[in-house]
Amino acid sequence: MPHRRILLKLSGEALLGDAPCGIDPAVLNRIAAEVAEVLAAGTQIALVIGGGNIFRGAGLAGAGMDRVTADQMGMLATVMNALAMQDALERIEVPTRVMSALKINQVCEDYIRRRAVAHLDAGRVAIFAAGIGSPFFTTDSAASLRAIEIGADLLIKATKVDGIYSADPVTHPDAVLYPRLTYDQALRENLKVMDATAIVLCRDNQVPLRVMNIYEPGALVRAAAGEDIGSLVESEPAESEPKE
Ligand code: UDP
């Protein structure tokens, strides 16, 4: 396989499907089946799951809650989503470990990098929960950080649209898809790929980032197999010779 080890970032919203909040079991099961397919094809896969379908710290803080408490609730929401994904994977007999950046030992393991890598090498799916364990961060940043730590050769960000567009394709029908772009272009044009911290981490550590539509059946399997779908964010192309 072109990719030995990938990290998939799923937002909480990806699990929503048509449900108003929480998790749509049909969507959860379909994504779990695709993760199983990626693993069966020979690519190690780790997941970082967001919590936006349940709580986002910024939203709660906007309603008056203390921001740190709100972010802690957001991190706990990601643990719930991680447990749901573990359950869906284990129902189809995919060995899985949830590893949390917050200590919740009755529920799941702590995140320990060496152990995470050992799980992946043993053919298990590792699901990283609770972001990085600190407030004022997002699970996008956690995904970049964990991808770097475990030596993933690709970070896949699953979204609701086909890739990165010049503007929001839902509100701007004339927006164009960028098949390839650099980290700096994504930052400069504020393309809302991932938050800036996450993109800078990828840029500074040379982790290629593919953005694709998780609602398109089979897209995850194809992206993991190295197919050029969605948008790829990577380093600057080699500079051409300066003109005299
Ligand atoms: N969060 C946090 N630290 C982290 C990761 C997440 O405080 O390292 C909190 C934050 O409040 C965030 C919430 O958890 O809003 C859910 O994560 P996120 O918004 O990234 O979820 P997604 O948008 O991917 O569903």
For 130-180, write each residue's pLDDT tens digit.
Answer: 999 999 999 999 999 999 999 999 999 999 889 999 988 889 989 999 999
Between the alpha carbon of residue 135 and those of residues 36, 53, 68, 111, 228, the distances in Å are: 32, 18, 6, 17, 35
Pocket lining: 86 vs ligand 1, CB cutoff 6 Å: no
Centroid of ligand 1 to alpha carbon of 50 (angstroms): 6
Nearest to 195 by CA among 25, 6, 52: 52
Domain regions of the chain by residue span: 5-165+205-228
Residue 9 assigned ligand-binding role? yes
Contact of 85 with 28, CB cutoff 8 Å:
yes
Q: Where are the alpha helices (DSSP H) in 22-165?
A: 25-40, 57-62, 67-91, 113-121, 139-149
Q: Which atom of ligand 1 is nearest to the CA of 52?
A: 25
Would you say 210 and 154 are in contact if contact means Cβ atoms under 8 Å apart? yes
Q: Please, are residues 212 and 155 in contact by the beta-carbon 8 Å criterion?
A: no
134 annotated as ligand-binding: yes
Q: What is the pLDDT of residues 190-242, one digit of tens each?
A: 888 899 999 999 999 999 999 999 999 999 999 999 999 999 999 976 444 54
What dotted CATH number matches 5-165+205-228?
3.40.1160.10
Say whether 95 sits in a helix, a strand or coil. coil
